[in-house]
Amino acid sequence: MKPKLLIVELWGLGDLVIGSPLLGAAVEQYDVTLLAKPYAVQLQQRLWPGVRVIPFVAPWTAFKGKYRMWRWPLRTLAGMLWQLRRERFDFGASARWDPRDHLLLALVGVKARLGYARLGSGYFLTQHLQRPAAECHRYEYWWTLGNSLQLRLPSLNAIPVAPPHPSRTILVHTGAGQAVRVWPLERFQKITTRLRAEGFTVVVACDPDQYDDWLRIGESAVVSPTSVDDLFALIEDAGLFIGNDSGPGHLAAACGVPTFSVFGPQLPEWFAPLHPGGESVEGKPCPYKPCSDYCRFAEPVCLTRLSEGEVWARLKQFLDRHARASAPAGH
């Protein structure tokens, strides 16, 4: 009988996709339960079918007003904790240095609790993990956690990906988890115009709050996926992906699609999608970067000062490399 392992990842889509190599490997040795946002159910069906998902939206993951505790669904939270406590987990782990994750693991009575201690949260852990170096990609936190769980995970530069899907269709997704990560839509539109002039078929996708803006600037065929399954369907037809620092980009990489990402407040070396053929362009310098989505200016100047011409110059190189890689032998 396999030991029972609880993994906690309560934040964004990209954060969870980055942890996919660990989740996929863990089911070989553990009976794995994942506590995550509801979209993890759809990810589970495609990326790690052996994992059991318990959907949960933690109130402290809200972008604003997260500590207005009088608005928290306390009855739901207590029920979830009681449900988990009855499971009697042998191991529990979080790849984040988040004291709230560590307290949760302690409250549900996990026997062995692994994590990266912060602000005194080592009190709630039974095994403190050494945090990777500050410049490391977020995947390194999952790799270190996996190593402590006796799992054999690939190194960052050796993560296997699905074989390429030769296609002249490019999926351009202009959304992101927060507005400060969004490169201006009018510049994305100029990029799509150039791509079509180069002979590519371009599918434009966006977040729901961007849909009317795309119609206003003339993109009548824009689509607004409302679920992870919708994203999977769009990605399956794409040969390349272009977007912001966002969850859809990570999902595309996990499906084997090379990605080109426009980064603003965060750093590519920390959060670039896990595809060896992926590339990125970084926004303009700012004394506050990385700023974790809480911009000190009226607009994210790291992105608004990044011109369409600068992005196109980098993107054209990306397109040329992948065109050469997919060309038949002898051409």
pLDDT at 328 (0 to 100): 42
pLDDT at 325 (0 to 100): 57
pLDDT at 113 (0 to 100): 98
In terms of DSSP H, where are the helices of the chain?
13-18, 20-26, 40-47, 74-87, 99-107, 139-148, 185-197, 211-216, 228-236, 247-254, 268-271, 301-304, 308-326
5-19 mean pLDDT: 96
How far apart CA 306 and CA 116 sit, in angstroms, is 35
pLDDT at 68 (0 to 100): 79
71-76 mean pLDDT: 82
The sign one gets for the Cα dihedral 31, 33, 34, 39 is positive
How far apart CA 261 and CA 283 sit, in angstroms, is 11
pLDDT class of 63 with cuts at 50, 70, 90 = low
Q: pLDDT tens-digit profile of 21-34?
A: 999 999 999 999 99
pLDDT class of 40 with cuts at 50, 70, 90 = very high
130-159 mean pLDDT: 96
Average pLDDT of the residues of the chain: 93
Q: Amino acid identity, residue 82?
A: W
Q: Amino acid identity, residue 50?
A: G
Nearest 5°: CA angle at 37, between 244 and 204? Answer: 30
Crossing angle (nearest 10°) for helices 185-197 and 308-326? 40
Nearest 5°: CA angle at 105, between 251 and 150? Answer: 65
pLDDT class of 331 with cuts at 50, 70, 90 = very low
- Flag the least confident range among 159-163, 172-176, 232-236: 159-163
Nearest 5°: CA angle at 157, between 151 and 160? Answer: 65
For 169-326, which CATH superfamily applies?
Answer: Glycogen Phosphorylase B; (3.40.50.2000)
List the beta bridge partners of residue 93.
Answer: 7, 114
The class (CATH top level) of 4-158 is alpha beta
User: Is beta strand 112-115 parallel, antiparallel or unpaired with respect to 91-94?
Assistant: parallel
159-182 mean pLDDT: 91
The reported pTM is 0.93
Structure letter (DSSP) for residue 290: S
pLDDT at 294 (0 to 100): 82
pLDDT > 70 in the chain, percent: 96
Q: pLDDT tens-digit profile of 182-222?
A: 999 999 999 999 999 999 999 999 999 999 999 999 998 99
| The two structure tokens encoding residue 108 | 């549900």
- Flag the least confident range among 14-18, 75-79, 118-122: 75-79
Residue intervals of the chain classified under CATH 3.40.50.2000 are 4-158, 169-326
137-141 mean pLDDT: 98
Q: pLDDT tens-digit profile of 80-106?
A: 899 999 999 999 999 999 999 999 999
- DSSP-assigned letters across all residues of 44-100: HHHH-TT-EEEE---GGG-SSSTT-GGGS-HHHHHHHHHHHHHH--SEEEESS--HH
Q: pLDDT tens-digit profile of 284-312?
A: 999 988 887 788 898 999 999 999 999 99
- DSSP-assigned letters across all residues of 129-160: PPPPPTTS-THHHHHHHHHHTT-----GGG--
Q: Amino acid identity, residue 151?
A: L
How far apart CA 56 and CA 77 sit, in angstroms, is 9
pLDDT at 112 (0 to 100): 98
pLDDT over 80 (residue 270): yes
